[in-house]
C-alpha cells in the first residue's frame, strides 16, 4: 500500500467501475508504520509496540470481527490490539513468536517494564495498568477468595457447591455474583439475557473492580489487591498462558 494511504482511519466514497459509489476504508497510520518498519528490518515486536503507541481507535470492525480495545473507556486491552495488528503482518512474523504473544502474552526477547512503557507511550501504559489491575488482577482475586471459601467449607465437612462463588463475591463486593450480573445486564438494556460475552465479562470485572474501590477503605483495598497479585504470581509460576 502506498504511503499516501497511511492516514487516520476515515471512510471515503469512490466511484467503482460499475458507476456505483462504494465505501473505502483508508488504512490507519499505525498499520502503515507497522508494515513499513517490519519490511525495513525493524524487529517486529518493537514495531508492533510503536504501532500500538500510534493507535487512536477505541474499537472497530475488521473482516467481520468487532474489536474493542478500551474496556469501559478506561482499561486498555493491549493484547486484543496486538492480535488485530498481527493480522496485517501475514508471513512477516514467525508463527511461533506470534502465538506465544497472543496466547501467552510473551514478547520475543526481553523488554523491561520501562521500555514497554516508553514504546507504547505514557497514556497507553496508564490505561494498560487500569486493565491489568481492573481485569487481570481482579479475576485472580476472585479466584483466590473462592478458593478460600471452598477450603473453609471442605474443612467443615460441607460438600463442594457452585454457591461458593456467590459467597466469594459477597466477601469481596458485598453482594452476590448473580445480583451484580443482573444489574450489569440491566445497564446493557438486556436484563433477560443470562450469559455474557467475553468482552462483557471484561467490562463486568472492571466494573466490579471500581465497585470494590468505592466500597472499602484504602487498607482493605490494598490488602485484597495484594491477594490477587499473589494468586496471579502462583498462576504464572505454573501456567505460561497468564498475560504479562
Quick one: what percent of the chain has pLDDT higher than 70?
A: 86
Going by pLDDT thresholds of 50, 70 and 90, the confidence category of residue 17 is very low
- One domain for residues 136 and 48: no
Structural domains counted in the chain: 2
Length reported for the chain: 244
Query: What is the per-residue pLDDT for 26?
Result: 54
SS3 203: helix
Question: Same domain, yes or no, for 156 and 230?
Answer: yes
Distance between CA atoms of 123 and 235, rounded to whole angstroms? 28
Q: What tens digit of pLDDT does each residue of 33-68 get?
A: 999 999 999 999 999 999 999 999 999 998 889 999
- What rounded mean pLDDT belongs to the chain? 86
Rounded Cα distance, 209 and 13, in Å: 43
State the residue for C-alpha cell 499516501: 4
User: Distance (Å, rounded) from C-alpha 244 to C-alpha 226?
Assistant: 16
Determine the longest span between alpha carbons in the chain, in angstroms. Answer: 77
Q: Is residue 15 part of a domain?
A: no
pLDDT digit string (tens) for 126-180?
999 999 999 999 999 999 999 999 999 888 877 777 789 999 999 999 999 999 9
Q: What is the pLDDT of residue 239?
A: 57
Q: How many CA atoms lie within 13 A of 95 on its CB side?
A: 1
114 and 165 assigned to the same domain: no
Among 120, 147, 181, which residue terminates a domain?
A: 120
Q: Are residues 202 and 171 in the same domain?
A: yes
User: Distance (Å, rounded) from C-alpha 62 to C-alpha 86?
Assistant: 13
**Structural domain range at position 210:** 123-238
Contact 50, 39 (CB under 8 A): no
- Residues 41 and 83 grouped into a single domain: yes
- In angstroms, rounded to a whole number, what is the distance separating the alpha carbons of residues 43 and 39? 10
Inside any domain, residue 16: no
Contact 57, 69 (CB under 8 A): yes
83 has a pLDDT exceeding 80: yes
pLDDT, greater one: 80 or 6: 80
Q: Residue 23 pLDDT > 60, yes or no?
A: no
Residue 14 lies in a domain: no
In a domain, 17, yes or no: no
For residues 26 and 7, is the Cβ–Cβ distance under 8 A? Answer: yes
Q: What is the dihedral of CA 235, 95, 41, 26, to 10 degrees?
A: -100
Amino acid at each position: 500500500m502506498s504511503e499516501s494511504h497511511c492516514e487516520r482511519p476515515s471512510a471515503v466514497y469512490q466511484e467503482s467501475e460499475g458507476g456505483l459509489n462504494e465505501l473505502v476504508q483508508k488504512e490507519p497510520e499505525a498499520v502503515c508504520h507497522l508494515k513499513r518498519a517490519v519490511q525495513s528490518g525493524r524487529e517486529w515486536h518493537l514495531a508492533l509496540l510503536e504501532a500500538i503507541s500510534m493507535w487512536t481507535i477505541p474499537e472497530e470492525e475488521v473482516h467481520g470481527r468487532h474489536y474493542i480495545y478500551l474496556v469501559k473507556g478506561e482499561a486498555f486491552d493491549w493484547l486484543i490490539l496486538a492480535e488485530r495488528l498481527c493480522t496485517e503482518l501475514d508471513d512477516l512474523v514467525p508463527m511461533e513468536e506470534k502465538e506465544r504473544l497472543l496466547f501467552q502474552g510473551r514478547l520475543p526477547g526481553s523488554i523491561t517494564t520501562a521500555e514497554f512503557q516508553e514504546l507504547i507511550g505514557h497514556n497507553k501504559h496508564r490505561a494498560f495498568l487500569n486493565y491489568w489491575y481492573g481485569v487481570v488482577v481482579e479475576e485472580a482475586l476472585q479466584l483466590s477468595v473462592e478458593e478460600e471459601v471452598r477450603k473453609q467449607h471442605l474443612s467443615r465437612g460441607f460438600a463442594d457447591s457452585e454457591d461458593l462463588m456467590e459467597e466469594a463475591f459477597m466477601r469481596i463486593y458485598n453482594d452476590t455474583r448473580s445480583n451484580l450480573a443482573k444489574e450489569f445486564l440491566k445497564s446493557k438494556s438486556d436484563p433477560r439475557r443470562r450469559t455474557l460475552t467475553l468482552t462483557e465479562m471484561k467490562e463486568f470485572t472492571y466494573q466490579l473492580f471500581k465497585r470494590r474501590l468505592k466500597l472499602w477503605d484504602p487498607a482493605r483495598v490494598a490488602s485484597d489487591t495484594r491477594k490477587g497479585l499473589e494468586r496471579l504470581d502462583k498462576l504464572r509460576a505454573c501456567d505460561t498462558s497468564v498475560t504479562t
